[in-house]
Structure 1
Amino acid sequence: MYRYIHSHRDKHGSSRLQPYTPNDSLNNALGTIRVLGLELIEDELKPHLNTVLTDIKERKKGAAEQVVISGILPILALSLRSRGPLTLLTAKLVAELAKESVVRKGFGDAGLVTALLSVLTSTDQELLLHITRAISRMSYDSSKQQELLLHRGAVPRLVAILLRYPDKEALEDVCLQTLCNLSGMGVAEEVGIIWERGASVRPGESVFHGVCPHTCGFTSSVTLMHVCQWAPGQYTVNIEVFQRCCSSFWNLHRTKQTACWFPFSSLGSCLNLYKVIKFSTKNIPRTQSLKSHVFHTFL
């Protein structure tokens, strides 16, 4: 199979298309997974899943497109649902595939969204880490995926994990990041948010705040999340974002006035200022943007 992807001029000045030859080992692996996938035989499929995982992690040219063309996404969904010996490896692969926009667009039609959500009830912490990371990546910049995940009950499952493993820092961080992404206020994974637990003032409440430094050095983004249990198995997640400015930045803009900026000293020095963005889903029409949501979750 060849795809012509670019052209160049030969010595006579004419343009010639250059063939793109897919990775043969990847093609063989994808073909084997497609043929044997429904049987989910670990010994036969594991090396081929590893081949695909390696090529995707290394971001080899054309690998993501080959995965889409191969049609293996429904097989990956089946592997996740089976909860068999291949589930963890499949979760790692799906988490890597979720980085590729060309692949994650097909997650819904392939049944991967519901498959991922079904695995969130697992007690395997490593598996939960990869599944949650996949959900975080697929919902980062897609309002369509955010809406689908919200309607399918992603938030209550994530809250349950967040509260079940309070001493697992990596799992806690990825759950918090995913909740932010589902609300439409996510930060790119490579930028990173440093999360800490805050002091709660009400029974049944968990408070988290994360700081995401900006490269310009003048401001940083602070995310404040409240998870409140107001009835058995029922929670409210409230997310607020503040823009914190250093005093030198504020001095440069001291002549500008806006009602949206005010001191919020519990997160730092009173010289720092914050911009508040509030989220609420109570009685919101279905057509309203997801970027103004607080989650009222029901387990």
Structure 2
Amino acid sequence: MEFYNKVGKMALGSRLRRLSELVTDQASKVYELYDIGLNPKWFPVFYALAGGENKSIMQIAQEINHSHPSVSTIVKEMVKSGIAQEIPNQKDGRKNFIGLTVKGKDINERIQVQYTDVNAAVENALNQTQYNIWKAIEEWEFLLEQKSLFKRVEDEKKLREANDVRIVAYQPEHQQSFKQLNEEWITENFNMEETDHKSLDHPQEYILDKGGVILIALYKGEPVGTSALIKMDGGMYELAKMAVSPKAKGKGIGYLLGLACMEKARSIGAKTLYLESNTKLKPAINLYHKLGFKKTSGLPSPYERCNIQMEMAL
């Protein structure tokens, strides 16, 4: 126990596995106590068949919330032990139903007293604890169905790494990074076009001098992302030239850049944000939806690769 107290909640999976192994080991002894020839890991499948109805492996898997391969393996072991049997499906010869054999039905009759005693023992143990583990498990299962542990850790990782991200205004020394970051994603997915070369080679002339803005994302001081606001007519700005280095993916930098651009656009009096993209860039399209952009159409585009236009009222 000292190890788990030292490591703390990081060892949640290991501690639950240890508890599961402990309970499973003692469950085996319980089956021996009642002379029930049943492997504890077979119990969910056995119980699903104990009502007398023959079921397919898929039906059993759905009922006990196990994977199809897991149930299939258990069924094979139960068939080999003589507890279960395969029964031909009259409507579909390619599939079989699974049912209990005479031996399995005999076990089901004899195991009822074990159920009674085990249930009473567990209830007594629960009454001796300050926290009801059964209810806690139900709560955790519900929480993890709403949001997986992986996603929760991923979100914490992004929050921590976001502390090392700074969004700064473009400076002349950022020109090479601005160009390189954009060329990197464009050439990976499309061909560079004339408008790309103009804005990336001469950002001061084609973006900044015309009333636009360029932002640079720094991660631990290194330029890893960029985006620009290009001034259009009627209080509209185009969100353009957004790029994040592959080595900085998964840190939420695109989202932080998007938020920074929205904030900057409001501060300079923009009424609408507009962007052009391509539907093959699914992560980017998802990001734009998350930021609040909606699909629109009608404006002529200088890019051949553009097949979707989006905008957002500020």
Fold match (TM-score > 0.5): no
Q: Which has the larger radius of gyration?
A: 2
Q: TM-score, normalised by structure 1?
A: 0.24
Q: Which has the higher helix share?
A: 2
TM, length-normalised to structure 2: 0.23
